[in-house]
Amino acid sequence: MAMNTRKGFRFATYKAEDITPFEKLFDIFQELITHTSGDFDEAIEWLRELDKEYELTDDEYTIDDFIEDLKAKGYIQEEFEDGGGEMGEDGEEGEGGGKGNISITAKMERIIRQRALDQIFGKLKRSGAGNHKTGKSGQGDEHTGDLREYRYGDGLEHISMTESLKNAQVNNGIGSFNLTEEDLVVEDTQYKAQMSTVLMIDISHSMILYGEDRITPAKKVAMALAELITTRYPKDTLDILVFGNDAWPIPIKDLPYLKVGPYHTNTVAGLQL
């Protein structure tokens, strides 16, 4: 007896994801620290304003508690001017009395790049090593399914022992078994090439012209690309150039701190570099 089944949508009351107060604020903080070019004080000031409007915190967990958690987790660090002391174990300023400046750490910089990668290339799977296929056979680690004769320099791990022993039996007979170089057969592999990428970022005034923020999306794409290349294609090289009136290279770790300056757009300088 056939059963009548109905297909359709089932609606239910939305249930927000159960996350900790720190995780909720940390997600917002990552976005703010990108927009403020790594300026911690400005990012926290914006976070406090958002807290006033949207009540992100309560008496049990405040913005100050969030800052302390950032320190404890190694996302920010406090440095003191005038040779001041470091923070003590109780969180109090040590000897020296200098004013402390808070900045993000290398760990936080990596988190920002990973976030940019997830936002832009979210569906790509990351792995420790990656290579680029060229469509040509050669030395590599991906088998093509084809066999060929042994050539000087081929690795022993690529020799097909089954086919090589079969050739030795056919060529020399079972009674007087002898394996020679002519009997060896190699499993062909896909040749993979190393790539070099150069990324140019415009930091001229045009990136904020007419009140439009173009530098933040540019930084996000750059950080995502840098994280993708360094994690999935570690054998590749990536060079990052910024240009305004002139052009100069910057390291990957400086990407979150990029700011627009009162520069003209000298693309030629970047291409010449």
CATH number at 246 reads 3.40.50.410
173 and 206 both lie in a single domain? no
258 and 210 both lie in a single domain? yes
173 and 203 both lie in a single domain? no
**First vs last Cα of the chain: how many Å apart?**
77
DSSP assignment of 187-256, as one string?
A: EEEEEEE--EEEEEEE-SGGGGGGG---HHHHHHHHHHHHHHHHHH-TTSEEEEEEESSSEEEE-GGGGG
- For 121-167, the pLDDT digits (tens) are 876 554 444 455 544 545 555 555 677 777 887 777 778 888 888 88
Domain end position, chosen among 193, 228, 260: 193
Q: Residue 112 domain-assigned?
A: no
Per the structure, the count of domains in the chain is: 3
149 and 216 both lie in a single domain? no
pLDDT at 129: 42
pLDDT at 90: 44
Q: Residue 109 domain-assigned?
A: no
Q: Residue 5 domain-assigned?
A: no
pLDDT at 162: 83
- How many CA atoms lie within 13 Å of 117's alpha carbon, on the beta-carbon side? 18
170 and 214 both lie in a single domain? no
What is the spatial distance between Cα 155 and Cα 116, in angstroms, rounded to a whole number?
A: 39
Domain end position, chosen among 104, 119, 152: 104
44 and 87 both lie in a single domain? yes
211 and 183 both lie in a single domain? no
Asked whether residue 91 carries a pLDDT value surpassing 50, the answer given is no
Q: What is the pTM of this model?
A: 0.68
pLDDT at 131: 54
Cβ 53 vs Cβ 82: under 8 Å: no
Cα angle 180-186-190, degrees, rounded to a multiple of 5: 160
Backbone angles phi, psi at 195, to 5 degrees: -110, 150
150 and 210 both lie in a single domain? no
Q: Residue 8 domain-assigned?
A: no
Cβ 206 vs Cβ 265: under 8 Å: yes
Asked whether residue 80 carries a pLDDT value surpassing 80, the answer given is no
Q: Residue 111 domain-assigned?
A: no
31 and 58 both lie in a single domain? yes
Asked whether residue 192 carries a pLDDT value surpassing 80, the answer given is no
With CA atoms as reference, report the closest residue to 227 among 195, 253, 194. Answer: 253
* Count of other CB atoms within 10 angstroms of residue 220: 22
C-alpha Rg value of the chain to the nearest Å:
29
Domain interval for residue 203: 196-272
Tell me what the mean pLDDT of segment 72-98 comes to.
64
Q: Residue 259 domain-assigned?
A: yes
215 and 152 both lie in a single domain? no
Mean residue pLDDT across the chain: 84
Q: Which three-class secondary structure state does DSSP give residue 52?
A: helix
Tell me what the mean pLDDT of segment 212-240 comes to.
94
Q: Which three-class secondary structure state does DSSP give residue 269?
A: helix
30 and 59 both lie in a single domain? yes
Q: Residue 91 domain-assigned?
A: yes
Q: Residue 166 domain-assigned?
A: yes
Domain end position, chosen among 78, 104, 130: 104
Q: Which range, of 33-47, 99-113, 182-196, averages the lowest pLDDT?
A: 182-196
CA 20, 24, 25, 29: dihedral to nearest 10 degrees? 140
Query: Any residues with CB less than 8 A from the CB of 18 and at least 6 apart, and which?
Result: none
- For 9-62, the pLDDT digits (tens) are 788 887 878 899 999 999 999 999 999 999 999 999 999 999 999 999 999 999
The pLDDT > 70 percentage for the chain reads 81
200 and 252 both lie in a single domain? yes
Phi-psi region of 173 (alpha: psi -120 to 50; beta: other; left: phi over 0): left
